[in-house]
Structure 1
């Protein structure tokens, strides 16, 4: 009996050892995360953040182990935040005020549609500047505007010039109407300001600092616009607008943990909303395509193997080197609900 007990004890310890080797060393991963993202906590906060990090690791592992998902989650700069904290720090509440310089809603006819290619990547056409990181500043509205104007100016002049998000954050600062700098703002009100101001300056003239500062030292405007158009929210119209006009501003519902921890692949989340009132994060659509992220049977949870290429402002540690590939064909997360492009783009 004693020998049998010893045998089972040895067997149990063997399987325990093997099992432990299969488990990820979360403390090692945690230390790598802290080093990569320069995290320093006091002992009490460290314990709290480590527990949150472990919870997020479990979500990542559970999602990635499901073969029906067409995209992956991963560790990024938001991995030590609860979903509630992420929403509070990086998303905004939608504001539906009147648009001052909005031209007509753009509808594209059949003639336009016939010219549109099956895939388009404006990065390859010299219309997209490198990914930036807005840091702790909730200034996605300014990054979306500037990326769209940079692309529009490049299309019109063949010159891709990096413009200043910081000028918008500092100078279009009117909290009474919702323009709160690094505490959120409106994309169309930002474009209104650029038109009224006679343009926006370059990043070189007005560098990004990542917090709301006093307006000044712009060095003069570099480029301007005369208006902006809303694109009717159909896939064909948005594809044609990208091809004819250049990068488009969009605003999506990014509140889910899957968006928070997105790493790559074709993003589709049935838990996000397409309602205008639920939109909370602005980005820039810079192209579209299909097939890259799906297998031949298309057995992923996305209803489509087609995607939009979307430029974000959370640095290259988010998503696929700073980009998110959003499912095309279902207005997932409201990506088509409100899309705009600047018009009359020129160098000053």
Structure 2
């Protein structure tokens, strides 16, 4: 009777408020109580209310599993297993000469809202989905494919259930995921057809029996929304993955940063990785999305990066140059699922991994930024600082560096003389102003309205 009574007392149901459920959870499972842990619990409780599942693991599985540790090819081979080794193509897009001062691809309608991966090690699936959703938004479709011009919310569950390289809800990597998808999965699917629910028994049983989910969309709509290129390590294979920065030992150089900004200025998001297993996990899981998060990368951890995310923009926040990172911890993490990290600081090891995919219809010879990157009229709590939406010249970086180096040298070596270096940053008219549109962009079709229908999904 005591056991039954205790079970009833600790039972948590969907009719309770989050606060009531949290207090019961703390008491029954002997957890430490804090505002931070309650925030994390409430995010999990919301998922439980919508999808069901166990309450006990809500706090016990907050620390994400390690990403799959891939091997590095040391010499060319013709028999590379891309499920075990890093396989990627070289960068096929030239760096832009002119990029935007800042980019937030949410403003351009090129990045969907952040989803929640729930109690499942599927960050790589959510980042894959973010990249492919972005790719579809940048596609040019003929009349037979207009469905994809409107339906751009992809199913994470479909990818998770049909990728049999890793264990179900197990560790993996974007490169492995895209390699498997490219070779074994016929199409993406829409979220409405396969709503994310990794604990659903049917999905678990199907995966255990190696049974793939069959697409529900018509076969005429099957789509792999990316181009493929020759794998650097094995010229007999192709991959959609462009390896922008894959060296696990080094951080982004200034050249890499410019390349990433060039991709973002074209409207193309970046697959990234970061460290989410710091000792103070409650802090990591409740980051304030309105401030710049500069958290030291713990180089003693192995692997250094254990969580994959999407870089969807750059610019300035509170005067500091930052990346915008989209996570898969849901809308209640950071600023609607996003945070700012400083550029050049490797905060949370976020500047040690960068890949991209190229939209299926993208013109590889294009040297122009995306024609409508957003208004830049910001001012909200979780926004970048406002700017004019101007383009800046890549030569400016070299000038600034020269000035920073030479002024101290001349200042120390010269007595009685003052050398003043001035330079005017070359700016371009706001390309979002129709009066200033380049001639070749005047006839561009208007961006189609975004399909605002979103389905709540689910973390590691």
Find the aligned partners of 1:271 and 1:321 in 2 and give their Cα distance: 24
Find the aligned partners of 1:148 and 1:108 in 2 and give their Cα distance: 20
Q: 2:196 aligns with which of 208, 233, 238?
A: 208
Decide whether aligned partners of structure 1 residues 125 and 274 sit closer, same or farther in structure 2, where only a CA change above 3 A counts.
farther
Decide whether aligned partners of structure 1 residues 78 and 249 sit closer, same or farther in structure 2, where only a CA change above 3 A counts.
farther
Q: CA deviation at 1:210?
A: 2.8
Find the aligned partners of 1:202 and 1:282 in 2 and give their Cα distance: 22
Q: 2:272 aligns with which of 221, 244, 250?
A: 250
Match of 2:76 in 1: none
Match of 2:307 in 1: 281
Match of 2:216 in 1: 219
Deviations 1:268-313 (A, max 9, x none): 11254498831111111111110x335xxxxxxxxxx111111111
Find the aligned partners of 2:98 and 2:26 in 1 and give their Cα distance: 60
Q: 1:325 aligns with which of 340, 356, 362?
A: 340
User: What are structure 1's unaligned runs of at least 5 residues?
Assistant: 1-33, 61-72, 295-304
Find the aligned partners of 1:286 and 1:43 in 2 and give their Cα distance: 36
Decide whether aligned partners of structure 1 residues 133 and 223 sit closer, same or farther in structure 2, where only a CA change above 3 A counts.
same
1:75-86, aligned counterparts within 5 Å? Answer: 75-77=39-41, 85=60
Match of 1:185 in 2: 172
Contact 1:195 1:224 in 2 (8 A): no
Secondary structure of residue in 2 paired with 1:224: coil
Match of 1:164 in 2: 155
Structure 1 stretch displaced more, 252-261 or 139-148: 252-261
Match of 2:130 in 1: 147
Decide whether aligned partners of structure 1 residues 207 and 48 sit closer, same or farther in structure 2, where only a CA change above 3 A counts.
same
Match of 1:53 in 2: 33
Contact 2:129 2:154 in 1 (8 A): yes
Contact 2:311 2:323 in 1 (8 A): yes
Find the aligned partners of 1:276 and 1:43 in 2 and give their Cα distance: 32
Q: CA deviation at 1:230?
A: 1.3
Q: Does 1:92 align with 2:66?
A: yes
Match of 2:243 in 1: 230
Find the aligned partners of 1:132 and 1:38 in 2 and give their Cα distance: 25
Deviations 1:94-140 (A, max 9, x none): 4114457621146854xx1x311110011111111122111112211
Find the aligned partners of 1:44 and 1:117 in 2 and give their Cα distance: 49
Find the aligned partners of 1:261 and 1:43 in 2 and give their Cα distance: 19
Decide whether aligned partners of structure 1 residues 271 and 231 sit closer, same or farther in structure 2, where only a CA change above 3 A counts.
closer
Contact 2:323 2:340 in 1 (8 A): yes
Match of 2:425 in 1: none
Match of 2:88 in 1: 102
User: What are structure 2's unaligned runs of at least 5 residues?
Assistant: 1-15, 45-55, 72-81, 142-148, 207-211, 229-239, 246-251, 363-460
Find the aligned partners of 1:142 and 1:155 in 2 and give their Cα distance: 20
Find the aligned partners of 1:137 and 1:37 in 2 and give their Cα distance: 24
Decide whether aligned partners of structure 1 residues 195 and 224 sit closer, same or farther in structure 2, where only a CA change above 3 A counts.
farther
Q: TM-score, normalised by structure 1?
A: 0.69
Q: CA deviation at 1:156?
A: 2.4
RMSD: 3.4
Q: CA deviation at 1:344?
A: 4.4
Secondary structure of residue in 2 paired with 1:168: helix
Secondary structure of residue in 2 paired with 1:310: strand
User: Aligned pair count?
Assistant: 277
Q: TM-score, normalised by structure 2?
A: 0.53
Q: Which structure: greater helix fraction?
A: 1
Contact 2:270 2:311 in 1 (8 A): yes
Find the aligned partners of 2:299 and 2:42 in 1 and give their Cα distance: 21
